Amino acid sequence: MAFNTRQVGRTNLKVTELGLGGATLGGNMEKVADDAGRRIVDTAYDAGIRYFDTAPYYGHGRSEHVMGDALRSRKDYVLSTKVGRLLKPVPDLSKMPDFGWQNPFPFEPVFDYSYDAIMRTYEDSLQRLGLAHIDILFIHDVDVYLADSGPAEFEKAVSGAYRALDELRRNGDVTAIGMGVNEAKPIADALPLGTWDVFLLAGRYTLLEQAPLQTLFPDLEKHGASIVIGGPFNSGVLAGRETWNYAKAPPDVMERVAGLKRVADAHKVPLAAAALQFVLAHPLICSVIPGPRSADEFKQILEWHGMSLPAALWNDLKSEGLVEADAPIPG
């Protein structure tokens, strides 16, 4: 299968519009055995996917390890990973805090956005992956770490990390740099602090919520950066589960999902297919990277991506106020 490719910012890098997110390889929702994780990556690559994303935090090194094993003999793919956490060995696993990962490697993640730590994290990732090159580096979860620290600490952290990433980009070690976060505001705050290529935004521009249309995307377009969308199903609530933001969805979210599903059902369209294709309609988005828990789940995602959906679906979603009136739609 051949997938459309899209340009990453103003770089010469192109990614397939459908990619693979690696959080599930680290066990973020449930345990995924290493061989099952490699099958997910193999299935994606064999289907024509050429963009893969991972991070040191995912399973405390497990996701990078599994993804590197699966990609090592492959060619012509784009790989992104993240910086901002160093992994420190934990000899006694009974003393390691619970970070929510199922069967993580015996390491504890420690936030550090300093120049030296970013360079160390980058080198550590190459070793965990067992690869000689990474295409895109994202500063990871700076929104989580600095949520209550104030603008000065945010700017200090981003500036230190940016200096390292910009040096790696200028040296040709990586092609594109950006941030990977769960909220739109940190991206907007970071735009004046550097020249960025691409940002990974998880769960905030979906069929369920489109606030970045007004709060972020216009400035991103002026900056010349692209967006990768993670979590297109909002942690599963748009794909038949009851999880939203990695926890049980509150009643107001479930009520909105029920409205979306009612319209989708009326058009005989799987809600997950509408969710996946909606995201890709925006021209700033270069790729969407769902995180399947198995090869079979990925095959289902492929079906959703390839479905032909009626134009009346999008018209009805907008007329009922379930999708922002100015949101780009497929077609």
Break the chain into its structural domains and give their ranges. 13-319
Contact present, 44 and 52 (Cβ < 8 Å): yes
Q: Which pLDDT value is given to residue 283?
A: 97
Q: Which two tokens stand for residue 74?
A: 């492959």
Q: What is the pTM of this model?
A: 0.96
Query: Is residue 51 among the annotated active site residues?
Result: no
Range from 8-17, 24-33, 46-55, 121-130 carrying the lowest mean pLDDT: 24-33
Spatial neighbors of 49 by CB under 8 A, at least 6 apart, are 3, 16, 18, 19, 20
Which member of 51, 57, 77, 82 is catalytic? 82
Least confident of 50-54, 97-101, 105-109, 230-234: 97-101
pLDDT at position 170: 98
Give the CB-side neighbour count of residue 107, counting CA atoms within 13 A. Answer: 19
Query: Residue 311 pLDDT more than 90?
Result: yes
- The whole-number pLDDT of residue 223 equals 98
- The model's confidence at residue 111, banded by pLDDT at 50, 70 and 90, is very high
% of residues, the chain, pLDDT over 90: 88
Rounded Cα distance, 179 and 136, in Å: 10
Please say whether the dihedral angle defined by the alpha carbons of residues 172, 199, 245 and 292, taken in this order, is positive or negative. Answer: negative
Q: Which amino acid is residue 270, in one-letter code?
A: P
Burial (Cβ within 10 Å: 0-12, 13-18, ≥19) of residue 53: buried
Would residue 248 show up in a list of annotated catalytic residues for this protein? no
Give, in degrees to the nearest 5, the angle at Cα 31 between 27 and 34.
85
The pLDDT confidence band at residue 110, using thresholds 50, 70 and 90, is: very high
Catalytic, out of 57, 58, 122, 162: 58
Chain segment 146-167, per-residue pLDDT in tens: 877 888 999 999 999 999 999 9
Q: Which of 11-15, 73-77, 94-98 has the lowest mean pLDDT?
A: 94-98
Say which CATH superfamily domain 13-319 falls into: NADP-dependent oxidoreductase domain (3.20.20.100)
Banded model confidence at residue 97, pLDDT cuts 50, 70, 90: confident
Q: What is the pLDDT of residue 148?
A: 75
- Average pLDDT of 68-88? 97
Question: Catalytic: which of 45, 53, 143, 162?
Answer: 53
- In sequence order, the 6+-apart residues with CB closer than 8 A to the CB of 191 are 219, 220, 223, 225
Residue 82 is a catalytic residue:
yes
Average pLDDT in the 53-60 region?
98
